[in-house]
Amino acid sequence: MVRDDQVYLAHIKDALQQISTYTDGMDTDAFLANRMVQDAVIRQLEIVGEATKKLSESFRRRFPFIPWKDLAGFRDKLIHQYFGVDLTTVWQSVVDDVPTLLDELKRIDMSA
DSSP helix/strand/coil, 6: helix
Q: Has 43 been annotated as catalytic?
A: no
Structural contact between residues 102 and 9, judged by C-beta atoms closer than 8 angstroms = no
Q: Could you give the CA distance from residue 36 to residue 50 in angstroms, rounded to a whole number?
A: 21
Q: Has 80 been annotated as catalytic?
A: yes
User: Which sign does the torsion angle of CA 76, 74, 40, 8 carry?
Assistant: negative
Out of 3, 11, 80, 107, the active site residue is 80
Q: Write the CB contacts of 22 (distance below 8 Å, at least 6 apart in sequence).
A: 37, 40, 41, 44
Out of 11, 60, 75, 107, the active site residue is 75
User: Catalytic residue positions?
Assistant: 75, 80
